[in-house]
Amino acid sequence: MTSNMEKPYVVGIDIGGTNTVFGIVDARGTILASDSIKTQIHATADKYVDAVCERLLPLIQSQGGIEKIKGIGVGAPNGNYYSGTIEFAPNLPWKGVISLAAMFEERLSIPTVLTNDANAAAIGEMTYGAARGMKDFIMITLGTGVGSGIVINGQLVYGHDGFAGELGHVVVRRENGRMCGCGRKGCLEAYCSATGVARTAREMLQANSDASLLRDIPAESIMSKDVYDAAVKGDKLAREIFNFTGEILGEALADFIAFSSPEAIILFGGLAKSGDYIMNPLKKALDENILNIFKGKAKILISELKDSDAAVLGASALAWEIKDLS
């Protein structure tokens, strides 16, 4: 049997709707080498896995080669921990069921495990970040979509099929709900993701004629970062967009707290970095909507891990759990 001392590293791969980031990680959670590729430009999953391996192999070689790697952990949208598959991910270009873990194992001969990207971020937060020592918390990732990882009694909740805890697809607006990438209407993701914020910006710009810095940008090109930049400069409309977004998120978090009574909700991703612009309306809506018995009990925290690091570290933490069969 090969000991961990001989296999001192793991690989973490985070598959985002826009970028895929991967790195070699040691037992202390230090990312020794990392790289990234664009996710969307690869027409098939096979070409995509080839592209990742092409960039990943030199990193592995730089740390002593494949025999130094204990395993690969992958965080992916709609990733199923039980089967190692990605299934019907709305924000990825490949449709249907993709046996991603098996594809990496086939090419690299390294044991590979896979989970939902938000679950990976939750494991990263629990292993290396703001949730160290916590047994009950909810991780909400505010990226291209809205993901969540729910930890109860120190265990990630997977459910009987591996897909439990899709809080981004809880319906938050029944009346004229926005179409979501998942095919339903009014999901949290359609409002509180980076893409949701951009949609809100376009809708508000169309609905009124107020002066705004956002009018200097072609409507279809507006990103959530532009809204943040405008808010920092005192733009009234940009702040209204954050108020609207924060209010919806705060109402949803009040419901989530009622479900598992977490010690903390940890927000992660670009939107979480918007500071008071998002946190003030969020906390106000949370306080107004939370059940009395939960008032003031759950902390709302911003992830301590760097955006690109948390999911890579989380995915890598999965790989330490792989049983060594060699």
**Tens digit of pLDDT for each residue in 9-55?**
999 999 988 889 999 999 888 999 999 999 988 989 999 999 999 99
pLDDT of res. 169: 95
pLDDT of res. 270: 84
pLDDT of res. 325: 45
Sorted by sequence, the CB contacts under 8 Å of residue 110 that are 6+ apart come out as: 11, 66, 69, 71, 72, 104
223 vs 219: CA distance, rounded Å: 9
pLDDT at position 80 over 60 = yes
| Residue 43: burial class (beta carbons within 10 Å; 0-12, 13-18, 19+) | exposed
CB 156 within 8 A of CB 117: no
Q: Which of 4, 266, 1 shows the shortest CA–CA distance to 125?
A: 266
Q: pLDDT by residue (tens digit) across 196-209? A: 999 999 999 999 89
Q: Which domains does the chain have, with CATH numbers?
A: 9-123+308-320 (3.30.420.40), 134-303 (3.30.420.40)
Instruction: Give me the chain's average pLDDT, please.
Output: 92
Residue appearing with tokens 């971020």: 121
Sorted by sequence, the CB contacts under 8 Å of residue 314 that are 6+ apart come out as: 12, 14, 73, 75, 119, 120, 121, 122, 123, 124, 125, 127
pLDDT at position 3 over 60 = no
Looking at the DSSP assignment, which residues form a beta bridge with residue 116?
A: 76
Which has more pLDDT, 271 or 264? 264
pLDDT of res. 285: 98
Please state the φ and ψ torsions of residue 263, each to the nearest 5 degrees. Answer: -70, -35
Q: What is the mean pLDDT of residues 68-96?
A: 91
Q: What is the mean pLDDT of residues 90-119?
A: 92
Q: Which two tokens stand for residue 228?
A: 């943040």
Q: Which of 73, 89, 19 shows the shortest CA–CA distance to 269?
A: 19
pLDDT at position 151 over 60 = yes
Distance of alpha carbon 143 from the chain centroid: 6
Which has more pLDDT, 97 or 307? 97
pLDDT of res. 139: 95
CB 188 within 8 A of CB 267: no
Sign of CA pseudo-dihedral 114, 118, 122, 128: positive
